[in-house]
Amino acid sequence: MAILTAEVPIESAGMRLDQVLVALFSDYSRNKLQTWIKAKRVTVNGQQLKAKDRLEGGEAIILNAEEEEVTEYLAEDIPLDIIYEDDDILIVNKPAGLVVHPGAGNWTGTLQNGLLFHLPDAATIPRSGIVHRIDKDTSGLLMVAKTLAAHHSLVEQLQAREIHREYLAITIGRMTGGGTLDEPIGRHPTERKKFSVREGGKPAVTHYRVLERFLRNTLIQVKLETGRTHQIRVHMAHLRMPLVGDPMYSGRFQMPRDCSPELEKVLRHFKRQALHAEKLGLIHPRTGEYCEWQQAIPDDMQELLVALRANDTLDHS
């Protein structure tokens, strides 16, 4: 149990209780502090007040900041590829095929189940400290908060678009150049598992640039400003450049023309969208310093790139 105490500064006279708490206990979000006020876990000179009550300055505040259990998901001994870990944050390299959060059809065997085993205290943090997600069949870097204060900081950075996220993707189609897509994304009107660019959707901004062109494909680097569900996949499909291996947004699989037997074999066995979260940068919640991590492209995408390059060297006349 964390019992925190503070004295209300005289210059805070006339301010609401919740405003004063935000200033005094900045490790916690305003919503969390308001919840604790309602739960009678805050006393002012021994009395329990409402969030809107105004203070005079000089009062003694006691806050019971005990971190309550917020999840009942099963802890499982699932191997985690941990890239970095300290007392506040954890950076993990998620393999393709691993679901991030438990849900319908996937209540066990997820990244969150594995985190609960590796970090038992994660049960006291929303979503076990996971503040963003990548799709099941996308590989790469994810950040995890190990404390409520770190969780609050990372969520604020995400909302302020201060988290740096770069992806590598391989598209179907040869791009002529990079650009920026600023197109809203919402639930598909008829296919509820899909999303699409649509009026009235949530703002979504994707920057992309060409790294390497092939005969009928392109390797691109993508930077996200926002983090909408399926954002890169939806935006690339909107450009008519869907990702290799993405049946949801690329339609029925068609073997490209001028395809070598080696490339055909790799494409037939490539069963997930060619998307990898390569770089992740953030302001460290405790030190305030900018930190960045990079994870090399996984073997399956590397094998695909090798086959694409080899195919380009053949005589297709």
**pTM score above 0.85:** no
Percentages of the chain per state (helix, strand, coil), in multiples of 5 = 25, 30, 45
Say yes or no: 123 and 174 in one domain.
no
Say yes or no: 144 and 170 in one domain.
no
Say yes or no: 153 and 172 in one domain.
no
Strand partners, 195: 187
Strand partners, 277: 140, 167
Among the three residues 97, 132, 160, which one is the final residue of a domain in this structure? 160
What tokens does 273 get? 């969208």
The mean pLDDT value of the chain amounts to 91
Tell me how far apart the alpha carbons of residues 153 and 255 are, in angstroms, rounded to a whole number. 46
| Domains contained in the chain, number | 3
In the residue annotation, 135 being an active-site residue is answered as yes
Say yes or no: 126 and 52 in one domain.
no
Say yes or no: 55 and 81 in one domain.
no
Q: Which residue has the higher pLDDT, 9 or 73?
A: 9
Domain that holds residue 46: 3-64
Pairing of strands 139-145, 275-283: parallel
Q: Model confidence at 15, in pLDDT bands (50, 70, 90)?
A: very high
Return the beta strands (E) in the chain as ranges: 3-7, 42-44, 60-64, 82-85, 89-94, 139-145, 164-172, 179-182, 185-187, 195-197, 205-213, 217-224, 275-283, 290-294
Say yes or no: 190 and 313 in one domain.
yes
Report how far apart, in Å, the C-alpha atoms of 310 and of each of 87, 171, 256 are.
46, 17, 15
Tell me how far apart the alpha carbons of residues 230 and 213 are, in angstroms, rounded to a whole number. 24
Say yes or no: 177 and 305 in one domain.
yes
Pick the catalytic residue from 135, 137, 246, 300.
135
Say yes or no: 234 and 168 in one domain.
yes
List, for residues 160-193, the tens digit of each pLDDT value. 999 999 999 999 999 999 999 999 998 888 887 8
Say yes or no: 56 and 81 in one domain.
no
Domain CATH number, residue 82: 3.30.2350.10
Q: How many CB atoms lie within 10 A of CB 187?
A: 15
Say yes or no: 169 and 228 in one domain.
yes
